[in-house]
Chain A
Amino acid sequence: MLNRIMDLRLVKRLRKSMAFSRLRLHFPMSEPRSVDDSERIGDAEIVRIDWPPEVPKPRVGIVRDLEKVPRWTKYRRFLENNGFPCDIYDIHAHDWIEKAGAVDLVVNLVSNEISRLEEIRVKYHFLETSLAKRCYPTAAQVLLYENKCLEAYIAKAHGLPFAATHISHRREDALAIAGKTRYPLVSKINHSSGSMGVELVRTPRRARRLVRRAFSRNGRSIHVPWVRQKNYVYFQEYVPNDGFDIRVILVGHRAFGYYRRVLEGDFRASGMNTVERRALPEEAIRAALEVQRCVRSPQLVVDMVHALDGRYVVIEYSVMCLMDRPTDLEVDGVPGVYVIGANGDIRFEKGRYWIHEWALREFLLTDYLPRITGAAADARP
C-alpha cells in the first residue's frame, strides 16, 4: 500500500520539494547504518585483475558506506577474489589517523550527504598529502562529487557539450543574469542529488526572488536544515528534450547505462524511479567519452538529455553513483556492457557486473600502480 502511494506522481513530486525534505526530518526515521548484502551479490561475474608479481599488493582499508545497496561489499568481494589484503576501516572514529598506519589504500565514500562528504574531503586530502596514502576516490574526485558548480567550471574549461550554465557569487551580477536569460531555466543547488533542490524557474521575477534570498544574510533554505544556499546561484538553460534523461556510466573502455523517463507533468527524471533499460545511442556514449577525456576518473557517470535539435547535451556528471543491481545495461532484455575498442568501435558483450568492481580495478591499474611504479607522468587530478 505504502509503495503504491510512494509511486503516485504527486507524491514523487512532493518528495522532491525542499519543504518536504525538511519537514520529513521532524518525523521518526531509522538511523543511517551500513548494510551487508554480501550474501546476495554472488550472481555477478568475477572481475579479475592482472597484478604484476614484482609489486606488493596494497593493504586496503574499506570504508563502509551507509547506502541501502552498498558499495563496500562489492569492493570487498573484488579484493578478496583477487587476493588483496583488506579490512574494514572506521574512518569516523577519533583514532582514524593511527589506524591509517595499517593500510596503503583507502577506498569508498560514506554517503553523499554534505556533512559526510565534507568529512571525507578533508580526511582524504590529509591522507594523500600528509601520510602519502592513496584514496579511491581521490581527494580531488571527492571535491568534484556532488559539486555542480565545479562540474560546470570544468565543462567550460574544456568546451564540453554541457548545457549553458550561469553561476554567480555576486548579487548584482546574479540579478543581471536573471534580467537577460531566456526562460524557463533550471535552478540547482550546488550539492544535491536525485533532483533534490532542482526547480524550474519560469519568470525573471521568480529568479530575482531566488537571487535575493540566496544573497540574504540567512541564505536560502534547501532540503536539509543544517546548511543553506548562501552567496551563490546556479542557473542552467532548460534544454527541450525527448522526455528522457540518459545516464552513461564509463569505466575504462567499458560503458553501461540506462534511460530515466521524465515524470509526467514535470521536467525532472533523476530520483523519480522511472528507469528504462535498453540500448544506448552511440552518440551518447561518445559524448560521455568526451567528458571522460577531461575528467579522467576511474568511473564517470554522465547524465544527458537528447535535445529536440538532435544534440546530446550533458546536464551533470559525477565520479560515482549508486547502483542497485549488476545489470545496469540491458539490451533487448540481455544484461551486458558496451566495450569500446582501441579503434573507437563499440560492441555489446553479455554479462552481469557490479560496476564498483570494475571501477576499483580501473583505479588500481591506472592510478595506484603507475604511482607506485613511478610511471605517474599522466597522473589524474
Chain B
Amino acid sequence: MLTKLKDLTVFRKAQKTNLYCRIRKYLPMRAPGFFDDRMLIEDAEVIKIEWPEDIEKPRIGIVQDYGPYPRWTKYCRFLENNGLRYELYNIHAQDWLENAAKYDVVIGISSNEFSHLQELRRKYFALETYYGKMCYPSTAHLTLYEDKSLEAYISNVVGLPFIKTHISHDKSDALRIIEKLKYPVVCKNESSSGSVGVELVHNIRRAKRIVEKAFSKRGRSTHLLYCRQKDYVYFQDFVPNDGYDLRAIVTGNRGFGYYRKVLSGDFRASGMNLVERRGLPEEPVRMAWEANKVIKSPVLVVDMLHGLDGRFYVIEYSPICEVNTPVQLQVGDDPGAYILEEGGSMRFEKGRYWLHDLALREFLVHYYLPHVRAQKGRSNG
C-alpha cells in the first residue's frame, strides 16, 4: 500500500520539495545505519588487479557508508579477491588520527549528506597534506562532489556542453541577471541530489523572491533543517528535451549508463526511480571520457539530456555515485560495458560489474601506483 502510494506522481513530486524534506525530519525515521550486503553481491564479475612485485601492497582503511546500497562491501570484496590487506576504519571517532597511522590508503565516504561531506573534506585534506596518506576519493574530488557551483565553474575549462548556468554571490548582480534570463529557468541548491531542492522558476517575480531570500540575513530555507541557502543563487537555463535524462558513467576505458524518464507533468528525472536500461548513443559516452581527461577521477558520472535541437547537454556531473545493481548498462537483454579501444573505437562487451570494484582498481592502478613510484624515484635520488 505504502509502496503504491509512494509511486504516485503527486507523491513523488511532493517528496522532492524542500518543505516536505524539512517536515519529514520531524517524523519518525530510522537512524542511519550500515548495511552488509556481502551475501548478495557475488553475482558480478571478479575484478582482478596485477600488482607489481616491486611495490608493497598498501594497508587500506575502508570508511563504511550508510544506506541500503553500500560501497564499502564492494570494496571489501574487491580487496579480498586481490589479496590486499584492509580493515574497517572508523573515521568519525575521536581517535581517527591515531588509527590512521595503520593505513597507507583510506577509501570511501560516509554519505552525501552535507554534514558528513564537510567532515570528510577536512579529514581527507589533513590526511593527504599533513599525514602523507592517499585517499579515495581525493580531497579535490570530494570538494567537487555535490558542489553544483564548482561543477559549473570547472565545465568552463573542461569544454563540456554544460547548460548555461548563472551563479552569483552578489545580490545586485543577481538581480541584474534575472532581468536578462529567458524563463523558465531551473533553480538549484549547491549541495543536494536526487532532484531535491531543484525547482522550475517560471517568471522573474519568482526569481526575484528567491534572490531576496537567499541574500537575506537568515538565508533561504533548503531541504535541510541545519543549513540554509545563503548569499548565492544558482540558475540554470531550461533546455527543452526528449523527456529523458541520460546518465553516462565512465571508469578507465569502460563506459556504462542508462536513461531516466522525466516524471509526467514535471521536468525532473533524477531520483524519481524511472530508470530505463538500453543502449546509449556513442556521443554522450565519449563526452564523459573527454571530460574525465580533465577531471581525472577514477569514476565520473555525467548527467545529460538530449535537447530538441538534437544536441546533448550536460546538466550535472559527479566523481562519486550510488549504484544498486551490477548492471549499469544493458543493451537488449545483455548487461555489459562499452569498451574504449586504444584506437578510439568503442565496442560492447557483456558482463556484470560492480562499478565500485572497477573504480577502486582504477584508483590503485592509475593514481596510487604512479604516486608510490614517483616517491620511490625521488627517494632514490
CB B236 to nearest CB in A, in angstroms, measures 13
Taking A149-B122, A231-B116 as contacts, is the C-beta distance between A173 and B94 under 8 angstroms?
yes
B231 close to A166 (CB less than 8 A): no
Taking A157-B97, A217-B225, A218-B225 as contacts, is the C-beta distance between A150 and B119 under 8 angstroms?
no
Q: Is B154 in contact with chain A by the CB < 8 A criterion?
A: yes
- B-contacting residues, A199-258, CB 8 Å: 217-219, 225-228, 230-232
CB B33 to nearest CB in A, in angstroms, measures 12
CA distance A140 to B231 in the complex (A): 22
Taking A150-B126, A228-B225, A231-B119 as contacts, is the C-beta distance between A130 and B157 under 8 angstroms?
yes
Q: 30 A–B contact pairs at CB < 8 A?
A: A29-B217, A90-B170, A91-B169, A93-B169, A94-B168, A97-B153, A114-B230, A115-B231, A119-B231, A122-B149, A125-B150, A130-B156, A130-B157, A131-B157, A153-B123, A153-B130, A154-B126, A154-B130, A166-B94, A168-B92, A169-B91, A217-B26, A226-B227, A226-B230, A227-B226, A227-B227, A227-B228, A227-B230, A228-B227, A231-B119
Q: Is A25 in contact with chain B by the CB < 8 A criterion?
A: yes
Please, what's the 1-or-0 string for A150-191, where 1 marks a CB less than 8 Å from any CB in chain B? 100110111000000011111001100100000000000000
Q: Is A195 in contact with chain B by the CB < 8 A criterion?
A: no
Q: Is A123 in contact with chain B by the CB < 8 A criterion?
A: yes
B228 close to A173 (CB less than 8 A): no
B122 close to A170 (CB less than 8 A): no
B94 close to A156 (CB less than 8 A): no
CA distance A166 to B96 in the complex (A): 11
Q: Is B218 in contact with chain A by the CB < 8 A criterion?
A: yes
Q: Which residues of B contact A294 (CB under 8 A)?
A: 130
Q: Which residues of B contact A29 (CB under 8 A)?
A: 217
A150 close to B170 (CB less than 8 A): no
A150 close to B122 (CB less than 8 A): yes
A225 close to B129 (CB less than 8 A): no
Q: Is A147 in contact with chain B by the CB < 8 A criterion?
A: yes
A153 close to B94 (CB less than 8 A): no
A93 close to B227 (CB less than 8 A): no
B97 close to A230 (CB less than 8 A): no
Q: Which residues of A contact B97 (CB under 8 A)?
A: 153, 156-157
CB B117 to nearest CB in A, in angstroms, measures 11
Q: Which residues of A contact B170 (CB under 8 A)?
A: 90, 92-93
The 9 closest A-B pairs by CB, nearest first: A92-B170, A226-B219, A219-B226, A170-B92, A226-B228, A228-B226, A169-B92, A115-B230, A92-B169
B154 close to A130 (CB less than 8 A): yes
CB B311 to nearest CB in A, in angstroms, measures 23
A177 close to B94 (CB less than 8 A): yes
CA distance A147 to B218 in the complex (A): 22
Please, what's the 1-or-0 string for A124-161, where 1 marks a CB less than 8 Å from any CB in chain B? 01100111000000001001000101100110111000
B226 close to A218 (CB less than 8 A): yes
A230 close to B168 (CB less than 8 A): no
A residues adjacent to B (C-beta < 8 A): 25, 29, 90-94, 97, 113-116, 119, 122-123, 125-126, 129-131, 140, 143, 147, 149-150, 153-154, 156-158, 166-170, 173-174, 177, 217-219, 225-228, 230-232, 294, 381
Q: Which residues of A contact B258 (CB under 8 A)?
A: none
CB B150 to nearest CB in A, in angstroms, measures 5
B169 close to A25 (CB less than 8 A): no
A25 close to B150 (CB less than 8 A): no
CB B220 to nearest CB in A, in angstroms, measures 9
Q: Which of B122, B149, B219 contacts A225 (CB 8 A)?
A: B219
A126 close to B217 (CB less than 8 A): no
- A-contacting residues, B206-255, CB 8 Å: 217-219, 225-232
Please, what's the 1-or-0 string for B151-167, where 1 marks a CB less than 8 Å from any CB in chain A? 00110110000000011
Residue of B nearest to A222 (CB): B226
CA distance A130 to B167 in the complex (A): 18
Taking A94-B173, A115-B219, A125-B143 as contacts, is the C-beta distance between A143 and B125 under 8 angstroms?
yes
CB A161 to nearest CB in B, in angstroms, measures 17
Residue of B nearest to A24 (CB): B217
Q: Which of A126, A174, A232 contacts B154 (CB 8 A)?
A: A126
CB A334 to nearest CB in B, in angstroms, measures 39
CB A315 to nearest CB in B, in angstroms, measures 18
Residue of B nearest to A167 (CB): B94
A157 close to B131 (CB less than 8 A): yes
Q: Which residues of A contact B149 (CB under 8 A)?
A: 122
Taking A150-B122, A227-B226 as contacts, is the C-beta distance between A217 and B25 under 8 angstroms?
yes
Q: Which residues of A contact B123 (CB under 8 A)?
A: 153
Q: Is B39 in contact with chain A by the CB < 8 A criterion?
A: no
